[in-house]
Structure 1
């Protein structure tokens, strides 16, 4: 079926914006999530439980609360928002960049959790063997730990992407529902449900949203499975 017939111009714009927001949110969050997983998974310091709780707070808080906190922190007149706008030209409130920030924060705990579980599954004896052979800690991480974490990193990234695609509460509170600028897929679905005759377009967007999310989840499982298989073969050759 022709996309132009299946989706209205407004719906296609919302879909394109959601993909853009989700990709940026995932890409920017990924290195931070790896670092957070290392700190909470391997770090031994006072207050580690508190840090871990703060990282997972977006999973517990109502999304509207997260959006409001972002608004008072990154709004144009807020201290952080005003500083970033003045010195770096970064504006988040009521911009697509703010939608990416909100989506990234909401998906961040899922990404950290998947990466941390993968890190905890790494056999410490392999790292010890590399260190015994004279490898520096950073080299051990880059050549042993990080490759073994790949399945978890892939899973976490795609789960975060899928979560970002479905983000609504924090986004609409922080950046609003501006067509072409901040109206993502969930916001467009909500808008269609509020107008007469909008049930049809809303259902089509729901179908697209389900298809994208399922593709992401199935894709993550297939990619992670392939990565685990390759790592298993590599370990077998090393033995």
Structure 2
């Protein structure tokens, strides 16, 4: 079960990609979840559809759309390249693809937590003179924090397992863009690579099961905290 240097490299890159994908998308995820749970505005259902679109589209399609959008010769990709920001065929692109694919799970978990909070608690704080941002920071956020953590864990696990969009957008370059799923795929394409693939599969299963169990535990904590208020 000892991992080779190449296998450790894939694990390390997957953790790096998943960490940054989760961290960078978390503020937007909280804002989007709050907007969908609390606000009424034109285009709300459209926003909800766009958020969940990565769950419906084939991952390869998402990767292709990212490629034609952020390729160095694309208008947006070329503009960002002039600023020194490159996503295509870089680990940063793998993080972007993972963040987009994991975003619906993050938003869903956080939104359910927000919807479980009694609106009267927020209204009571507002009547005492608290501004909306202060109400969110002092009332809503403490109550939904386990849900935020659960959504982040699910997003991290999803990012660790992202394959289709990643390999389409950033290819499968060892040491640069080769994450756990793409490494498993690469090992299965060469004779004698089955043992390496099996070891990485075991790592993936352990990470995924651990994330699901931890997310479930945090979700129950949300229910107890909100129910005890």
Q: TM-score, normalised by structure 2?
A: 0.95
Residue 124 in 1 paired to residue 119 in 2? yes
Cα offsets for 1:123-147 (capped at 9, x unmatched): 0111111112221211111101111
Tell me the residue number matched to 1:188. Answer: 183
Tell me the residue number matched to 1:31. Answer: 27
Q: TM-score, normalised by structure 1?
A: 0.91
- Aligned Cα RMSD in Å? 1.5
Tell me the residue number matched to 1:209. Answer: 204
Task: Report the Cα offset of residue 155 of structure 1.
Answer: 1.1
Cα offsets for 1:143-163 (capped at 9, x unmatched): 011111112211110000000
Task: Report the Cα offset of residue 230 of structure 1.
Answer: 5.6
Task: Report the Cα offset of residue 222 of structure 1.
Answer: 3.1
Spell out the pairing of 1:40-189 with structure 2 (5 A cutoff): 40-87=36-83, 89-189=84-184
Matched position secondary structure for 1:56: helix
Tell me the residue number matched to 1:19. Answer: 15
Cα offsets for 1:172-199 (capped at 9, x unmatched): 0000000000000000000111111111
Aligned length: 229
Cα offsets for 1:186-213 (capped at 9, x unmatched): 0000011111111111111100111111
Task: Report the Cα offset of residue 15 of structure 1.
Answer: 0.5
Cα offsets for 1:87-125 (capped at 9, x unmatched): 2x1110000000000000000001011111111111011
Matched position secondary structure for 1:77: coil
Task: Report the Cα offset of residue 231 of structure 1.
Answer: 6.0
Matched position secondary structure for 2:151: helix
Distance in 2 between residues matched to 1:27 and 1:219, nearest whole Å:
18
Task: Report the Cα offset of residue 226 of structure 1.
Answer: 4.6
Q: Which runs of 5+ in 1 are unaligned?
A: none
Distance in 2 between residues matched to 1:154 and 1:221, nearest whole Å:
11
